[in-house]
């Protein structure tokens, strides 16, 4: 059985959702990222989620876990397709989310890791907000061409959903001004399986 270590509402919800959606047998363990246990740090010294364990094999890092699950369960079409080029497009958007979009939230979550003074905190956070709006504008343009980031629904969309939850909570974007992002967000939010996952994570 797979074991997923997650933190409620973190990017790990993307993997949590797909394991549940595709009926993959797993056990989920919640991690308090503000007070990490010695047990969890022994599993992942970096102290980050998600972490996946498969029969003693321990794997961290979101994209590595997604690629592993794609290879482990190819019939589940985690990347939305068996087509080589369609999967490449999904991987491109996963890389965009993981490398371009997600890091822009770091100064908003833990600004004091980067700067010390209140003025510097305000400056770096304001820049992050501006950058995030620009990045979401690019995604909105993509979604005007397709209802999903790839040709079909994939784990990239659930990763995007996770970031949108943060952006809405922090009032970075107003979904009323992003009809295509709003449509994707609400499709996933209203999925009974996502509701179950969010309930299990204590988010609703």
pLDDT confidence of 111, banded at 50, 70, 90?
A: confident
Residues 180 and 92 in one domain: yes
Provide, rounded to the nearest whole percent, the portion of the chain with pLDDT above 90.
92
Residues 120 and 168 in one domain: yes
The CATH number given to whatever domain includes residue 119 is 1.20.1050.10
Residues 178 and 101 in one domain: yes
Residues 90 and 183 in one domain: yes
For the cut 80, the answer to whether the pLDDT of residue 204 exceeds it is yes
Residues 141 and 97 in one domain: yes
Residue 115 pLDDT: 74
pLDDT digits (tens, 9 = 90+) for 13-39: 999 999 999 999 999 999 999 899 999
**What number is the average pLDDT over the span 64-85?**
97
CB 182 within 8 A of CB 176: yes
Residues 47 and 9 in one domain: yes
Residues 179 and 122 in one domain: yes
**What number is the average pLDDT over the span 59-78?**
97
pLDDT confidence of 160, banded at 50, 70, 90?
A: very high
Burial readout 39-57 (b: 16 or more C-beta within 10 A, e: otherwise) = ebeebbeeebbbbbbeeee
Domain count, the chain: 2
CA distance 109 to 129: 12
Residues 68 and 140 in one domain: no
Residues 117 and 73 in one domain: no
Residues 186 and 88 in one domain: yes
For the cut 80, the answer to whether the pLDDT of residue 57 exceeds it is yes
The CATH number given to whatever domain includes residue 14 is 3.40.30.10
Q: Which domain holds residue 133?
A: 84-191
For the entire predicted model, the pTM comes to 0.95
Residues 119 and 156 in one domain: yes
């Amino acid at each position: 059985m797979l074991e997923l270590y997650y933190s409620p509402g973190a990017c790990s919800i993307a993997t949590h959702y797909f394991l549940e959606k595709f009926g993959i047998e797993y056990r989920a363990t919640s991690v308090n990222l503000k007070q990490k246990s010695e047990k969890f740090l022994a599993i992942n010294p970096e102290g980050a989620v998600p972490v996946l364990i498969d029969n003693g094999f321990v794997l961290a890092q979101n994209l590595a876990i997604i690629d592993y699950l794609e290879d482990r369960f190819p019939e589940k079409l985690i990347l939305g397709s068996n087509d080589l080029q369609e999967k490449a497009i999904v991987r491109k958007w996963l890389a965009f989310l993981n490398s371009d979009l997600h890091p822009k939230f770091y100064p908003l979550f833990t600004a004091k890791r980067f700067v010390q003074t209140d003025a510097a905190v305000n400056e770096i956070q304001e820049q992050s907000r501006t950058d995030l709006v620009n990045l979401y504008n690019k995604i909105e343009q993509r979604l005007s061409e397709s209802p999903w980031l790839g040709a079909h629904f994939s784990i990239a969309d659930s990763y995007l959903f996770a970031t949108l939850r943060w952006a809405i909570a922090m009032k970075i974007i107003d979904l009323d001004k992003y009809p295509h992002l709003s449509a994707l967000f609400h499709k996933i939010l209203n999925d009974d399986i996502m509701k179950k996952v969010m309930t299990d994570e204590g988010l609703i």
